[in-house]
Structure 1
């Protein structure tokens, strides 16, 4: 089996050296970029399986890198940041990051998070509260029973399953699932969520999706 490829975008040479060593010891193939522009080139040319992204890059901010990658790719991105205020964390996640770690961090924590993201975006099914979601096969089961979803319903569930328990706002959902192209004051998100709930109720999957009034939706963790 070929090694999974990790792209590390980090300008601190000491941090990059230690992380590269730990990742390679864990069995990954690692490519390193020390600035934003070379990192974007590496994403395009080397097709990594996952990106570990520092925000404090010398040429421009890592949030810009995050946004540019997200315009063309859904590959998993873990942000490494010293910014630990709630507003900054929300901004990182809403900007398209799949996960983040706050510096300083234990490399074991980062390796665990890398493993989770690769499982979720790879061939192994995601398993949450009786739900088995296979992204590659676009197949969903609940307690062993297949749940037949439309393409849009599957995309909605996949989005919520990225971070179970996290509340996704309607704006985030519109941006991720519909590319932000819904008309103003549209109830399309709510209608699709209701349909998704109904299909889980049909297989006795009650309370799978949580509504946070006035904010959005979350998958119960």
Structure 2
């Protein structure tokens, strides 16, 4: 194990889950820290400076949402929430409170590892190139946020202000789930967080203009009942 290997903190009271993640993470080259309680996890987060936190919602001493809220008071470390709770309300609450992603138990280890890689890359990009011009180019779709221009296969794509704002926000959080409420609050304003039909219309138009099949998305993926995710390149 090298000193530069990313350090992942797993906070989960289930010994079997911790063991499963420990084996899987170490096999992928990560360093692993483990905590069975909220207090132990917060202490490790404060003293060991993990690069990413996997946080279970159902902890014995404090709810994971509370741990996330406290952690966000002094750290912006990426947090992936784990839970057996599959309700829309739980997912939205976690994302709105600062979680970077949400995975429901039971989960596939390969999907989890892919999501971790996306979160770690986003963290590296944010810390090493904060002033870089925001430009996305995957060979087909080009989004130049400096010029507010979008092209597809070399042809300009005419977007309305709302369509562009939604696309730009999803792109800024590429690979991460952005809740409907987050999108509505930023693009339409705080008084429109319940107007999900606005968002559905805009996403539908974006998909049509980008020729993006919702059944097999290339860029815009729906996370049912929660929000949307701009697919990172290694997810497609």
TM-score range, shorter chain: 0.5 to 0.7
Per-residue CA shift, 1:87-119, capped at 9, x if unaligned? 111111112110011011122221111111111
Task: Give, in whole Å, the separation in 2 of the partners of 1:105 and 1:219.
Answer: 18
Partner of 2:22: 20
Shift of 1:86: 1.0
1:157-212 CA-partner distances (Å, limit 9, x unpaired): 886546366535379659xxxxxxxxx98xxxxxxxxxxxxxxxxxxxxxxxxxxx
The CA distance in 2 between the partners of 1:135 and 1:66, in whole Å, is 21
Q: Does 1:141 align with 2:135?
A: yes
- The Cα shift of 1:16 comes to 0.5
CA distance in structure 2 between the aligned counterparts of 1:159 and 1:11, rounded to whole angstroms: 33
Query: Which residue of structure 2 aligns with residue 169 of structure 1?
Result: 182
Q: In the TM superposition, what are the counterparts of 1:122-161 in structure 2 within 5 Å?
A: 122-123=124-125, 136-138=128-130, 139=132, 140-143=134-137, 147-148=145-146, 160-161=173-174
**Structure 1: segments with no counterpart, 5+ residues:** 124-133, 150-155, 175-183, 186-216
Query: Does residue 86 of structure 1 match 2:88?
Result: yes
Q: Secondary structure of 1:64's match?
A: helix
Q: Is the 8 A contact 1:6 1:28 kept in 2?
A: yes
Normalising by structure 2, we get a TM-score of: 0.61
Q: C-alpha separation between the residues in 2 aligned to 1:173 and 1:16? A: 36
Correspondence 1:43-54 to 2 at 5 A: 43-54=45-56
SS of residue paired to 2:128:
coil
Kindly indicate whether the alpha-carbon contact (under 8 Å) linking 2:11 and 2:53 is maintained by their aligned counterparts in 1. yes
Q: Which runs of 4+ in 1 moved over 2 A?
A: 141-149, 156-174, 217-221
Q: 1:119 is paired with a residue of what secondary structure?
A: helix
- Give the Cα–Cα distance (whole angstroms) in 2 for the partners of residues 122 and 168 of structure 1: 27
1:37, distance to aligned residue in structure 2 (A) = 0.4
What is the Cα deviation at residue 148 of structure 1? 4.6
Q: Is the 8 A contact 2:92 2:179 kept in 1?
A: no
Which one of the candidate residues 42, 51, 67 is aligned to 1:65? 67
Report Cα offsets for 1:23-82 as digits up to 9, x if no partner: 001100000011000100111100000000011111111110011111111111001101
Q: Which residue of 1 is the match for residue 221 of structure 2?
A: none
Equivalent residue, structure 2, for 1:76:
78
CA distance in 2, matches of 1:112, 1:145: 24
For these two proteins, the number of residue pairs brought into alignment is 170
The residue aligned with 1:177 is none
